Amino acid sequence: MTPHESTSGGSSTRFDPWYDHYAHRTAGLSASEVRALFAVASRPEVVSLAGGMPYVSALSPDLVTSSLERVMRDSGPTALQYGSGQGTPELREHILEIMALEGIRGSVDDVVVTTGSQQALDLVTKLFIDPGDVILAEAPSYVGAIGVFRSYQAEVAHVMMDEDGLIPQALRETIARLQAEGKRIKFLYTIPTFHNPAGVTLTWERRLEVLEICKANDILVLEDNPYGLLYFDTPPPHAMRSIEEDGVIYLGSFSKTFAPGFRVGWALAPHAIREKLILANESATLCPSSFSQFAITEYLRSSDWKGQIDAFRDVYRSRRDAMLSSLQEHLPEMEWTVPNGGFYVWLRLPSTLDSKEMLPRAVKELVAYTPGTAFFADGGGRQMMRLSFCYPNEETIRTGIRRLTSVINGELELLKTFATSGPVVTGQVPAVEPVHVTSPPPNIN
Amino acid sequence: MDEFTPSSVLILAGGISHERDVSLRSGRRIADSLRSQGVTVELRDPDATLFAYLESRQPDVVWPALHGAGGEDGSLRGLLDFVGVPFVGSRADASRMAWDKPTAKALVSRASVPTPRSIALSRDTFRDLGAVNVLDRISAELSGPVVVKPAQGGSAQGVTIVDDPADLATAMVHAYRYGDVALVEQKIAGTEISVCVIDTGDGPVAVSPVEIEPISGFYSFEARYNAGETRFYTPARISDEVAARASEAAITAHETLRLRHISRMDFMVDGAGTPFFLEASVMPGLTETSLFPRALEVAGHDVGWAYLALCQAALRDARA
């Protein structure tokens, strides 16, 4: 196909001469109206409860600047050079120290530094997934993971959750069903601590049980833990990797505890997998950013980084409280999760509403959220939405919830107007009823 | 180059409408094209600093490349006119008329250009008269497939093609999420075409009609902005006679709505070769997958030159 193919009437174009050349796995890579609607979230008038941007302004600019200056002064030529595909040994030592806070013990040799933990997710999926292989994931699951899984043509099977995280019995049943169908399950992808988007945490007892189930069925566990250190009230249970070494690949990140702009994360993997991860990492990017690794190493070496994480906790705790109290004030009849850490509240709307369909109305009312469908690979989640409290301040969050209330009420009124005309279809009904995390409305004093 | 050649152009893109993303893409493409003509271009999102900026920098011309509310409804254009800033595109009153689809249809229809039978209804009408009653009446009057769309707005946002009357309520609800008034229009079976109109000072000229053939069958938002999802034929695969009729109708619509410099008219051509006016756009999309630049290119125009000529026309109009 050429850009200007001749026809009897003149010429035709599809504006992409390579349209028929793309790989099948790119099928989902297209601009959508929902994505375009999110463009307004960058306007200052809009309260965005959509994105998961860490509040990096809580970092001391002087501290970051002095770290960067020291990197250039003391290690400039090395920091600006290519580095190892595994990451610098110094940073990997620090990473061990950080993981120890969540009960993880490992070898510096088994840590692979990546370009954000998102790249680690991509590499692990690349290593294990052939088209049609099954990945188990919570219902809902991280939108960025679903995108990666889709790009490798995996089949994502969602597993039910409740307020205590993944439900072991549901996991057993899902595995049994898939095995009976002859499907090949490669790994369980889980965010056990301060789940994105659900905000809940897998209990210690369930961690043990989930690991046992996976071990019994030869299923690898991919534990994604970017939020574990950002607890508000009590520390969460130790990481699943602290219990099981051989069957767990652990993903960590500096994006939430320091800054996402450096794009540094890591994987801690059993050594055979680690070897392949390093090779895959070199193949993908040659090496993670040397400069970012040096900068983070210097920051960890010379600053009170644990104190900084405490400061982040204080900020996010206060914002969570603002969101929960505002929900309680304006939407007491709804259900939502009460996170003890992380960035997100998961809200359930009245059954007639569809959060994706409602988004244009929200744009008009100058508030943005993430529709629940983003977190399901099977079209579920229409009744749900993710609300982020990490970036806007308390007052802005309260304004956002007020506006969201108006959006919901407007939508309910519209549907009521048409209710007598028969069923108004607000979206396709998912093949499998999605299971959502619920909890009683919080008691906020 | 003449005395009306601007040395600096401010492009306003973005805004806060549903079409913000499209506007940003249009703005960047206009900027690239004008820079290729040696013009100094700045791209800005209109905000509270706009008028202070205009006062301090005094660009020769402003190009409001804003789609949707705020951009095409005339508000910003009225202010630019009010403070005496030359700008590309239609003035406020004309923009307001063209932006509102029922108004544009009524005016263009009076000028003897056919337009599909339709009715515009506010949300309150359904509430006050009972949704069932109103829906039944619509289905009785507009038999066959209909198109439901918000009365204002573009990029097919909120638009549904309804083949089964049972789906009409859902389509109305969808449209009302974008605005308080919706238009229900008889769907014309045939060929979908757009005619771009450009006026650089010598009167409006219709560029050869472009035929739109979405792969999915519906020229949706996704079909518009994902390269490859729609095939465009230039010229359209219609007879010369029908093409001339469509061009004439486009000029009539442009003049009837008192549009200026640039517009795009959308039509459905039925089996008998009659072009039915659907809607006008006072700020057509100028993205990499948009019709307007494509039509200009195929007609042999250099897009950069054409955009510069529009800026010159804006300057000439302001000094007239």
**DSSP E strand stretches across A71-164:** 111-114, 134-138, 155-159, 161-162
Q: What is the pLDDT of residues B108-130, one digit of tens each?
A: 999 999 999 999 999 999 999 99
Tell me how far apart the terminal alpha carbons of chain B are, to the nearest angstrom.
18
Q: What is the pLDDT of residues A252-282, one digit of tens each?
A: 999 999 999 999 999 999 999 999 999 999 9
Q: Do A11 and B135 touch (CB under 8 A)?
A: no
Helix (H) or strand (E) holding A405, with range, is helix A394-419
Shortest CA gap A21–chain B (Å)? 11
Q: What is the pLDDT of residues B167-196, one digit of tens each?
A: 999 999 999 999 999 999 999 999 999 999
d(CA A13, CA A11): 7
- Tell me the pLDDT band of A425, cut-offs 50, 70 and 90: low
- Tell me the pLDDT band of A14, cut-offs 50, 70 and 90: confident
pLDDT on residue A421: 64
pLDDT on residue A17: 87
Tell which wins on pLDDT, A39 or B35: B35
| Beta-carbon contacts below 8 Å between A and B | 127
pLDDT on residue B223: 86
Q: Of A15-29, A175-189, A263-277, where does mean pLDDT reach its minimum?
A: A15-29
Q: What is the pLDDT of residues A104-128, one digit of tens each?
A: 999 999 999 999 999 999 999 999 9
Residue A206: pLDDT above 60?
A: yes
* Contact predicate B8/B60, CB 8 Å: yes
Sign of CA dihedral B102, B105, B107, B110: negative
Q: Pick from B16, B132, B208: which is nearest to A421 by CB?
A: B132
Helix (H) or strand (E) holding B173, with range, is helix B168-176
Exposed/middle/buried for residue A34 (C-beta within 10 Å: 0-12, 13-18, 19+)? middle
Helix (H) or strand (E) holding B184, with range, is strand B181-186
**Residue B59's CB: how many other CB atoms inside 10 A?**
21
Residue A393: pLDDT above 70?
A: yes
**Whole-number mean pLDDT of chain B?**
93
Share of chain B above pLDDT 90, in %: 79
Chain-centroid distance, C-alpha B126: 28
- Tell me the pLDDT band of A431, cut-offs 50, 70 and 90: very low
- Tell me the pLDDT band of A147, cut-offs 50, 70 and 90: very high
* Contact predicate B243/B72, CB 8 Å: no
d(CA A63, CA A60): 5
* Contact predicate B131/B169, CB 8 Å: yes
Selection from B243, B306, B268 nearest residue B161 by Cα: B268
Residue A31: pLDDT above 80?
A: no
Conformation bin of residue A365: beta by default, left when phi > 0, alpha when psi is -120 to 50: alpha
**Whole-number mean pLDDT of chain A?**
91
Chain-centroid distance, C-alpha A425: 29
pLDDT on residue A1: 31
Q: What is the 3-state secondary structure (H, E, C) of A265-287?
A: EEEECCHHHHHHHHHHHHHHHCC
Q: Do B228 and A7 touch (CB under 8 A)?
A: no
Most distant pair of Cα atoms in chain A: their distance:
74
Q: Please list every residue in chain B whose beta carbon sits closer than 8 Å to the beta carbon of residue A357.
A: 174, 177
Q: Do B232 and A12 touch (CB under 8 A)?
A: yes
Exposed/middle/buried for residue A319 (C-beta within 10 Å: 0-12, 13-18, 19+)? buried
Look up residue B247 and give its two tokens.
């061009």
d(CA B168, CA B175): 11
Q: Do A39 and B231 touch (CB under 8 A)?
A: no
Q: Please list every residue in chain A whose beta carbon sits closer than 8 Å to the beta carbon of residue B292.
A: none
* Contact predicate A362/A404, CB 8 Å: yes
Residue A185: pLDDT above 60?
A: yes
What b/e string do you get for A92-121 counting C-beta neighbours within 10 Å, with b at 16 or more?
bebbbebbeebebebebebbbbbbbbbbbb
Do the interacting molecules here have an ipTM over 0.95? no
d(CA A329, CA A319): 15
Q: Do B131 and A12 touch (CB under 8 A)?
A: no
Q: What is the pLDDT of residues A356-390, one digit of tens each?
A: 999 999 999 999 999 999 999 999 999 999 999 99
Q: Pick from B131, B157, B229: which is nearest to A33 by CB?
A: B157
Q: Do A426 and B173 touch (CB under 8 A)?
A: yes
Residue A41: pLDDT above 50?
A: yes
Q: Pick from B16, B174, B178: which is nearest to A45 by CB?
A: B16
Tell which wins on pLDDT, A390 or A20: A390
Whole-number CA gyration radius for chain B: 19
Q: Do B231 and A12 touch (CB under 8 A)?
A: yes
Q: Please list every residue in chain B whose beta carbon sits closer than 8 Å to the beta carbon of residue A417.
A: 123, 126-127, 131
* Contact predicate A293/A301, CB 8 Å: no
Share of chain B above pLDDT 70, in %: 100
Q: What are φ and ψ of residue A341, in 5° steps?
A: 175, 175
pLDDT on residue A420: 66
A150: three-class secondary structure by DSSP: helix
Q: Do A39 and B123 touch (CB under 8 A)?
A: no
Tokens 């996010």 locate to: A316
d(CA B271, CA B37): 43
The reported pTM is: 0.90
Q: Do B177 and A361 touch (CB under 8 A)?
A: yes
Q: By CA distance, what is A46's nearest residue in B?
A: B16
Q: Of A122-126, B27-31, B141-145, where does mean pLDDT reach its minimum?
A: B141-145
Selection from A343, A372, A338, A368 nearest residue A355 by Cα: A372
Shortest CA gap A31–chain B (Å)? 6
Residue A156: pLDDT above 50?
A: yes
**Across residues A320-349, what is the average pLDDT?**
97
Helix (H) or strand (E) holding A177, with range, is helix A168-180
Residue A429: pLDDT above 50?
A: no
Residue B256: pLDDT above 50?
A: yes
